[in-house]
Structures are given as C-alpha cells and as structure tokens.
Structure 1
Amino acid sequence: MSLNVVHLVGRVGRDPEIKFFTSGSSLCTLTLAVNRPTSKSDEPDWFNLEIWGKTAEVAANYVRKGSLIGVKGSLKIETWTDANTGANRSKPVIRVDKLDLLGSKRDNDQNALSGYGDDPTL
C-alpha cells in the first residue's frame, strides 16, 4: 500500500497565475504560506501549488494574495537540469485535487479592493 496525500491550510503568497493550453486544459500556479503550530519563529513554510482544469479557473477568479485557502493534493518532485551550471535541480510541488476557499466574503472583498486604490471605502 502507498499513500501520498497532503492537506494544507494557509494564506496565498501572490496572486495566482493561470495558463491556458491549446488542448483546452488550464494550469494555475501559486504559493501558499503555512504556519507551524509548534514553531517558535514567525517564519511560515512555503509551498508551490499547481492546480489543473476547472479548479484552476476557480482559483484564478476567486483567490488573491492573502486569501485563506485549504488544499488537498499530492506531493510531486519536479526535476530539471540547470541551463547555466548543468547541475540537476529539483523542487517539491503540491498538485492540488481539492480547493476550499476559507476566507469570508468580506475578506475576499477587501482583497479585491486592495489593488484599486488607497481608500478601502470605495
């Protein structure tokens, strides 16, 4: 038996980036900051997320930097050869299967307003 399941809850570190492919599929990438409950430091753990399909479009339309989200997915390791040094490189990525928007509607409205001016009452 093998098991590769990751559950995370945290705040989005940057606005999602979405790409549409000629095949009709879509890919959304973003970062997620997750605090450790036992950690003495204020530094969160950062995770790279990739979301495919309709869920990617939902993330691109409704998630913004600072949004509180929950994700369920699997861990994969991306590997490549560095073009400059020729060294083998790798990074962990969470491939998201399920996305939960956890912030309140008011939180989402405040996030939407943050890019449109300094006055949050507009």
Structure 2
Amino acid sequence: MNKVVLVGRLTKDPTLIFAQGTGNAVCKFTVAVNRRFKKEGQPETDFLPVTVFGKTGEATANYMVKGSQVGISGSVQTSTYMKDNVKMYKTEVIADEVDFLDSKGKGESSGQNNSNNANNSFDSNSDITPIDDSDIPF
C-alpha cells in the first residue's frame, strides 16, 4: 500500500502550469512538515515536494499562498534521471486530495485578534439558522 497523509505549511506560492497538448493543470509546491519526534531545541522539519493535477491543482494554486496550512492525501512516487552522467533520484508526493486548513499567508497571523471569526455572528439574510442547544435530546 502506498498512502501518505500530511499536514503542513506551504513554503512558497504554488506554481501552476498547463501540460502542452493535453492542457491538464499541474500544480507544484513544497510543504513543510514537522517531524513527530523532536530532539531538544528546534523541531526538525521536512520539506516535501507535492504535485497536484486537474481541478484540485487549479484550486490549490488559486487559493493557497506561502504560509497556508494544508492537509494532503496521496501517494509517494520516485523517479530517476541522468544529469551530467550521474543518476539522480527524485521523490515527491502525488496528491489526490488537498484540504485547505487555514490561510495564514493571506494577511492573517496567529497573533491578530480577529473579532469577526471569534463572534461568528449571523446576519438576518443568512441561510444558516442558529438553534438552541437545549432543544437537542442528547
């Protein structure tokens, strides 16, 4: 089984290209993922290249920026190529799903007090109707 699930932050804005001939969207970015077990001092981080295809790739490129936190589900793929008569190895994550977890890179920072997010107030024109928790039988 080849399955990987990651949560991390983008190290720079994603790049989006369209494959020649087919026109399929190809989005590439690098995600920084902290290791679970840390040594004393600074936590160790891995920087993993990720590729996303199709509509998911387009959405990722359009809505995610450097610093955005993402959840990725996909598989690990390795390949080899020759460079100056030396065999080079490449390992990357091919993402099937990308979940947008937050948008820290879009001007928000964890230290700002954002009253709109904290209050979650509803407008009278909203399609969401708040309910009274005392009406729930469990």
TM-score normalised by L of structure 1? 0.80
Letter of the structure 2 residue corresponding to residue 110 of structure 1? G
Which of the two has higher C-alpha Rg? 2
Q: Which amino acid aligns with 1:91?
A: K
Give the aligned partner of residue 81 of structure 1.
Answer: 82
SS in 2 for 1:102: strand
Percentage of identical aligned residues: 36
2:16 maps to a residue whose letter is I
Matching residue within 7, 10, 24 for 1:12: 10
**Unpaired stretches in structure 2, ≥5 consecutive residues:** 109-138
Identify the structure with bigger relative contact order (alpha carbons < 8 Å, sequence gap 6+).
Answer: 1
What RMSD over aligned residues (CA atoms) do the two structures have, in Å? 1.4
Q: Trace 1:1-122 onto structure 2 (pairs within 5 A).
A: 3-21=1-19, 22-40=21-39, 41-82=42-83, 85-103=84-102, 107=104, 109-110=106-107
* 1:110 CA drift (Å): 1.1
**For residue 113 of structure 2, what is the aligned residue in structure 1?**
none
- The total of aligned residue pairs comes to 105
1:38 is paired with a residue of what secondary structure? coil
- Deviation, 1:36, is 1.1
Question: Which structure 1 residue ranges, 5 or more long, are not aligned?
Answer: 112-122
Would you say the 8 A contact 2:65–2:106 is kept in 1? no
Within 2, Cα distance between the matches of 1:26 and 1:39? 37
Q: SS at the partner of 1:58? A: helix
Which amino acid is 2:28 matched to? T
